[in-house]
């Protein structure tokens, strides 16, 4: 597993809340939302699924989008992805 980069105070353009939704909704929703974003815009994806820590950076690498990093709260993660592809 790659080392996950932790970030703070990122200002997203769009937020999608999939907390408590089951795997692999994080990848399906990510794909769906990135299709709706303009190039350069940032998506914030909220999920409690820890497998996303591995899956989302990998997905970004595979699809050529920029994985900005993760922020953590008590109950869930906030993933930040910039659409670059």
Partner 1 sequence: MQCYFDHVATTPLRPEVLEAMMPYFKEEFGNPLSIYPLGTNAREAVERAREQVAGLVNAKSTEIIFTSSGAEANNFALRGIAFARQHEGRHIIVSRMEHHSILNSARFLEKMGFTATYLPPDRHGLIDPEAVRKAITDETILISVIHASPEVGTIEPVREIAAIARERNITFHTDAVASVGNIPVDVKELGADLLSMSAHQFNGPKGAGALYLREGQRIIPLIFGGIQEGGRRAGTENVPAIVGMGRAAEIAKAELPHRVDGIRRLRDRLIEGIMKMEAVHFTGHPEQRLPGHASFCVEYIEGEGMLLMLAAKGIYVASGSACTSKALKSSPVLLSMGIPTHVAHGSVVFTLGADNTEEQIDYALEEFPQVIKRLRELSPFSKGWGDIEEGGTCIPKK
Which residues contact partner 1 (rule: CB under 8 A)?
17-25, 28, 74-75
According to DSSP, the residues that pair with 67 across neighbouring strands are: 81
Nearer to partner 1, 10 or 25 (CB): 25
The CB-of-55 to partner 1 minimum distance in angstroms stands at 14
Nearer to partner 1, 21 or 53 (CB): 21
14 C-beta neighbours (distance < 10 Å), count:
15
Please state the separation of Cα 3 from the chain's center in Å: 15
Distance CA 38, CA 66 (A): 13
Instruction: Pick the closer one to partner 1 by CB: 48 or 66.
Output: 48
């Amino acid at each position: 597993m790659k080392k996950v980069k932790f970030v703070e105070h990122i200002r997203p353009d769009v937020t999608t809340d999939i907390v408590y939704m089951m795997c692999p909704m994080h990848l399906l929703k990510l794909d769906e939302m990135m299709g709706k974003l303009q190039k350069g815009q940032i998506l914030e994806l909220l999920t409690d699924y820890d497998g996303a820590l591995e899956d989302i950076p990998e997905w970004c690498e595979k699809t050529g989008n920029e994985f900005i990093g993760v922020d953590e709260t008590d109950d869930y993660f906030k993933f930040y992805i910039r659409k670059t592809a």
